[in-house]
Amino acid sequence: MKWEGNRESDNVEDARNEGGGGGGFGGGRSIGLGTIAIALVASYFFGISPTTVISLLSGGPVSQPQQQSQQAPGGARGPNHAAPAQDRQTKFVRTVLADTEDVWTQIFRANGKTYAAPTLKLFSGSTQTACGTGQTASGPFYCPGDRKVYIDLSFYQLMQQRFHVSGEFAQAYVIAHEVGHHVQNLMGIMDKVHSAERQMSKAQANAMSVRLELQADCLAGVWAFHANQARSILEQGDVEGALNAATAIGDDALQKQEQGYVVPDSFTHGTSAQRVRWFKQGISSGEVKSCNTFEVKTL
Ligand SMILES: [Zn+2]
């Protein structure tokens, strides 16, 4: 992925020094995988459910094996002083966020709306959010209440080590997916899904959450389409890398990988094939309206 030298966003807050400590994913813990996924925004009529996010955040079983950490090597070195690699990563995050701002601002404008950019907060260990306490173990997430995307960058190591997903575009895709949830929030989709879910059985609500997540994947694809058109960010192998990410983190793949563990949101994000399909849909069409996961019969 080509990103160096592109605009960097000012909407990144760095709270890695305040953290509740213990960065890193503890040994066997799985992440709020859903969050990992790929991409975002959808039609103006559907959205994301805050309940999913909230349950991730508010320390359901997800955050349980709160490590026992897993001090980063060099953990003794005091409140995180970013190694050079981390600095590059921070720059990368700022650049990808800026790219989502540019793309979504344009898409909203083309539809007569104004895009209000989210803040992206880097944290380490745990952090307070309008949705409750955010934990590293929950993976990246979006909180509709404060309109912030939360990421502990150690998640990227986990993607690599545990799921063997590497490549910067796959990492960008994670951010684009969370920003997609923000777009769903701005469009009122989250609210709609949330209130609909209150009338539903648990199984129905889960099915709804899957649609919300797959839509975020599709929206991430829409972002990638436009980003590439405007700035030629894609290099050979990038899309395959992101598709591998989608495959690696589909619920079915995860369940295999996670046998013996509880994966609380395991069925709320769609199978690998579904995630791949929706990301492809977004990146090939570049159209928000192609992301209407709420109206299709077969996901
Ligand atoms: Zn998500």
CB neighbour burial string for 273-286, b if at least 16 within 10 angstroms, e if fewer: ebbbbbbbbbbeeb
- How high is the pLDDT of residue 62? 33
Q: pLDDT tens, 219-278?
A: 999 999 999 999 999 999 898 888 887 777 665 655 555 544 434 344 567 788 888 899
CA of 178 to the centre of ligand 1 (A): 6
User: Cα(49) to centroid of ligand 1, in Å?
Assistant: 9
Task: Find, among 254, 289, 283, the residue nearest to 268 by Cα.
Answer: 254
More confident of the two residues 210 and 183: 183
How far is the centre of ligand 1, averaged over its atoms, from the C-alpha of 108 (Å)? Answer: 21
Query: What's the gap in Å between 181 CA and the centre of ligand 1?
Result: 7
Is residue 178 within 8 A of residue 140, CB to CB? The reply is yes
- Ligand 1 centroid–CA 214 distance in Å is 8
Q: Once rounded to an integer, what is the mean pLDDT over residues 133-153?
A: 88
**Residue 40 DSSP code:** B
Task: Check residues 286 and 81 and name the one with the higher pLDDT.
Answer: 286
Look at residue 297 and tell me if it is in a domain.
Answer: no
Please indicate, yes or no, if residue 84 is contained in any of the structural domains. yes
pLDDT value of residue 267: 53
pLDDT in the model for residue 53: 34
Question: Which tokens belong to 270?
Answer: 């769609």
Contacts of 189 (CB under 8 A, 6+ apart): 42, 44, 45, 46, 47, 48, 212, 215
The whole domain housing 256 covers 12-291
Residue 6, in any domain of the structure: no
Distance 74 CA to ligand 1 centre (A): 32
Residue 179 within any structural domain of the chain: yes
| Cα 21 to chain centroid, rounded | 22
* Domain presence at residue 199: yes
What token pair was written down for 128? 């307070």
Task: Give residue 22 CA to ligand 1 midpoint distance, Å.
Answer: 24
Residue 161: inside a domain, yes or no?
yes
Span from the CA of 33 to the centroid of ligand 1 (angstroms): 8
Quote the percentage of the chain above a pLDDT of 70. 70
Q: How confident is the model at residue 13 (pLDDT cuts 50, 70, 90)?
A: very high
Asked, for residue 1, whether it belongs to a domain, the answer is: no
CA-to-CA dists, residue 264 to 46, 62, 99, 187, 276, angstroms: 24, 6, 32, 27, 22
> pLDDT tens digit string along 44-58?
223 333 333 333 333
| Total domains present in the chain | 1
